[in-house]
Structure 1
Amino acid sequence: MLSFLSTGLLDFSAWQVVIYTLVVTHITIAAVTIYLHRHQAHRALDLHPIPSHFFRFWLWLTTGQVTKEWASIHRKHHAKCDTEEDPHSPQTRGIRKVLFEGAELYRAESKVKETMDKYGHGTPDDWIERHVYTGRSTLGVASLLVINVALFGVIGLTVWAIQMMWIPITAAGIINGLGHWWGYRNYDCNDAATNIFPWGILIGGEELHNNHHTYATSAKLSSKWYEFDLGWGYIRMLEMVGLAKVKKVAPKPKLAKNKAQADFDTLQSVIANRYDVMAKYAKSVRHAFHEEFEHLKHKAQLESRFLKSSRKLMQREPAKLESSQKQQLVELFQHSKALETMHTMRVELGAIWERSHSTRDQLLHQLQDWCNRAEASKIKALQDFSIRLRTYA
């Protein structure tokens, strides 16, 4: 009996137990990002019943996760992102609360019937879901405890504890917490979502949270050439063997070389790819700022800290700026007409796809006028951006 408690049925070495733990926790991560997140919550892909039910069973066994609860809470998170109604935003609840008590926030929201009824549509509702996966959601993790102890002996308790903590720490804590608090942003989306790390391996690609919040229904979370989404790799492998079908990925703009003037195709493409357009414009702002930097630092005698923070402010959505931040830009623009023009033109460009009352012809005229004024501005960064913009097709 003592020997069994010491080694279990498998008599694994310490390293073998570590490898086993890493494998099973990674399968759980894959189940969350592929099944719960991209398939169930966002319908970015369809899954064949075999992987779909495997993931459902695995999550019941290793997390006690109920599909309807997870999908409902995540959909509400997107609908109410970073507001007081967001179930787990560090912007409203504080980073420590979400980072260390993310699972508790999830459990509290799962008891809100209104959330389940409003956001839980389309999730599994078959017999096994009602009577086992939801009806006996704690039976899975209890069974896992018995299995781990049987396989590894007493050390199986530690393996089980790690499995129980894995999703609360990585998903509920790190992604929901740090993913709205710290990191880099490819796109100025309507919330505070950030990319924590460009290589999404440990948490299956969920690290690319800013990309996801920009294109929520995309099955692929990586966006730049240097980014890596491991979950997308798994999806492509499932698709190659007929076990998955990708429904949507983030749009990629098509460019028509040597287009002399923006046309209706340009207008449609610019509106459809507005986040990409604004990301490219932010890059143009950085180039313009670089050209003005020495003048502002030495001739205008502005401090480097002021200039660096101003550069970041110029890349953000103007409507999101606080009054003190707007005043900082006013002070900056007193010393640089070029940067003031870049800022004004950004506001005008963004207004094109916000004018829902304008006709197609009016919007095209506004876009053409914008390009003409940009190319007549004598600001190289703005001119280069406009030349590229009118090639959208």
Structure 2
Amino acid sequence: MTIIIFIVILWYGGLFFQTFFLHRYAAHQTFTMSKVAEKITFILTWFFQGSNYLSAYGYGVMHRMHHAYADTKDDPHSPKYDASVFSMMWRTKTIYSDINKQKIFVEPKFTKNVPQWKRFDAFASSWVSRIAWGAAYVIFFLYFATAWWQWLFLPIALFMAPIHGVIINWYAHIYGYVNFSSKDTSKNLLPFDFLMMGEGYHNNHHKYASRSNFGGVRWHEVDITYQIMRVLNAMGIITMKRTPIPVRRD
């Protein structure tokens, strides 16, 4: 039971900071927060993502490119232009790495105001950090795993961020339903997105990219991350921006 709880904490902890910080803040800037709060969130993202840590700068820039070029040959990740999920994720990894290492030219519109903490990113993204987190996971499993099948969860812990990426960037462009017609293949993966904390409402998000609430178009579309953001906004930790009210296609 301890292993299951551990995986659930890693899944939703890492996912929350991916969607809250990397996606809604770094890429789309749907809210603002102080520089102190931003630095703390960088650290919390590293803590919960562990061996899967993603740079806010690399993610934010790449995700803006995804929206600009969705399902075209210039999209960093698209089932339409990749033969398999593995080739898509490898290409995504390469582009993400090239952005962080400034190996490719990126138009200024994709980098404007994207948060970056170079020294911390260099540490959190280093092999030393990733291997240390991986070793910590293995030690945790050695201590708490009580059956052989529980070890099947170790690869999930080690590669959780890529798994999250596969669910949205691959499956949410193939399966699901749509509320809005679009030039791309984005879909809402689940009617109630308990799995991806609102990220699964991908069609809604592609229609209203600057909107804090990815759900809310239909009665059952509850965006869990947005509800947490409302609490943080009420506490004065973040300030959410006004966003358009979605108009559903009937």
Highest CA radius of gyration, 1 or 2? 1
Q: CA 1:56–1:41 in 2, change beyond 3 Å: closer, same or farther?
A: same
| Pairwise CA distance, 1:84 | 1.0
Correspondence for 1:211: 204
Contact 1:145 1:160 (8 Å CA) reproduced? no
Letter in 1 for 2:192: W
| Pairwise CA distance, 1:158 | 6.1
Alignment of 1:151-190 (within 5 A): 151-153=140-142, 155=145, 160-170=154-164, 172-190=165-183
Letter in 2 for 1:30: F
Correspondence for 1:353: none
Letter in 2 for 1:42: H
> 2:137 and 2:79 mapped to 1: Cα distance?
35
1:132 aligns with 2:123: no
Query: SS of 2:197's equivalent?
Result: coil
| Pairwise CA distance, 1:150 | 4.1
Match 1:141 to one of 130, 146, 149 = 130
- Structure 1's unaligned 5+ residue stretches are 1-14, 253-275, 284-393
Letter in 2 for 1:207: G
Identity %: 23
Q: CA 1:165–1:146 in 2, change beyond 3 Å: closer, same or farther?
A: closer
Residue-pair matches, total: 235
| Pairwise CA distance, 1:157 | 7.5
Query: SS of 1:192's equivalent?
Result: coil
What per-residue deviation string (whole Å, max 9, x for no partner) do you get for residues 132-173 of structure 1?
323551333222123334444365986653222222122x21
1:195 aligns with 2:188: yes
Greater relative contact order (Cα < 8 A, sep 6+): 2
1:30 aligns with 2:16: yes
1:109 aligns with 2:95: yes
Letter in 2 for 1:58: F
Contact 1:75 1:119 (8 Å CA) reproduced? yes
Q: CA 1:143–1:121 in 2, change beyond 3 Å: closer, same or farther?
A: farther
Correspondence for 1:246: 240
> 1:118 and 1:217 mapped to 2: Cα distance?
15
Contact 1:69 1:120 (8 Å CA) reproduced? no
Correspondence for 1:18: 4
Query: SS of 1:199's equivalent?
Result: coil
Letter in 1 for 2:236: G
Letter in 1 for 2:111: G
Contact 2:13 2:48 (8 Å CA) reproduced? no
Letter in 1 for 2:27: A
> 1:186 and 1:192 mapped to 2: Cα distance?
12
Instruction: Report the RMSD for the aligned CA atoms in angstroms.
Output: 2.5
Correspondence for 1:308: none
Correspondence for 1:120: 111
Contact 2:186 2:203 (8 Å CA) reproduced? yes
| Pairwise CA distance, 1:189 | 2.6
> 1:228 and 1:84 mapped to 2: Cα distance?
33
Alignment of 1:29-68 (within 5 A): 29-48=15-34, 49-50=36-37, 52-58=41-47, 61-68=50-57
> 1:137 and 1:27 mapped to 2: Cα distance?
18
| Pairwise CA distance, 1:240 | 2.3
- Structure 2's unaligned 5+ residue stretches are none
What per-residue deviation string (whole Å, max 9, x for no partner) do you get for residues 209-249 of structure 1?
00000000001001211211111122112222221221133
Q: CA 1:136–1:229 in 2, change beyond 3 Å: closer, same or farther?
A: closer
Most deviating of 67-76 and 232-241: 232-241
Query: Normalized per residue, which structure has more helix?
Result: 1
Contact 1:67 1:124 (8 Å CA) reproduced? yes
Correspondence for 1:87: 76
Letter in 2 for 1:144: W
Most deviating of 24-33 and 156-165: 156-165
> 2:174 and 2:138 mapped to 1: Cα distance?
38
What per-residue deviation string (whole Å, max 9, x for no partner) do you get for residues 172-218 of structure 1?
21211122222111011332211111212211111100000000000
Letter in 2 for 1:148: Y
